[in-house]
Amino acid sequence: MSEITVSDLQRLLQTIAKRMLAERDDLCQLDGVIGDADHGIAMELGFAAAAKAAGELDPSATDPTGVLNTAAKAFLNAVGASSGPLYATAFMRAAAAVKGKASLGDQEMLDIFAALAKGIQDRGKAEVGEKTMVDAWAPAADACAQAGAEGRPLAECYDAALAAAEKGRDATREMVASKGRSARLGDRSLGHIDPGAASATIVISCLSDFVRR
């Protein structure tokens, strides 16, 4: 794979923002069953703000860490509650993982994926099986790392991550929420896909498409 530049990361954020706009209503519908029906709006606002702020940076005057830290701040400013701190922490962890790099190669992209997932899990203090976005991010990170350890091409690593995320997302349908706002529903949350896991899978799908291209 070619080296990934600041301009590439700016385009990636724009792509995710467009996908979140397209998926906003479906995510809100999912959230309306077990939450406050605003998850799609939050994700659209967060990624739109992140893409806009990062896109205003001069590619010749910043680096990938600068792009990711800018995205983190913008996301948090746009979405102060719930998913805002989670994705802001994810972006900041990813920024730290590639600090000092002018561009990103395969190993750095593996490091970024691991950092994104770890940031979300650490900030949310959630575990797999609690019906949250961690049910998509954590198995995706494990699958990505395992494929990387096996020496598989980066695109295959991210494809493995996406497949694991989709499986984790779908598994939330059979879970009773024990974390977040949907936990108050108890057994009534059973039978519904977690909106955070659904939006996480959209992000991971965009990442997988990005590295393949």
Domains present along the chain, CATH in parentheses: 6-212 (1.25.40.340)
Q: Map residue 10 onto helix, strand or coil.
A: helix
Token digits of residue 91:
């972006």
d(CA 76, CA 78): 5
Q: Is the dihedral of CA 32, 131, 180, 86 positive or negative?
A: negative
Q: How confident is the model at residue 149 (pLDDT cuts 50, 70, 90)?
A: very high
d(CA 38, CA 138): 23
Chain segment 88-138, per-residue pLDDT in tens: 999 999 999 999 999 999 999 999 999 999 999 999 999 999 999 999 999
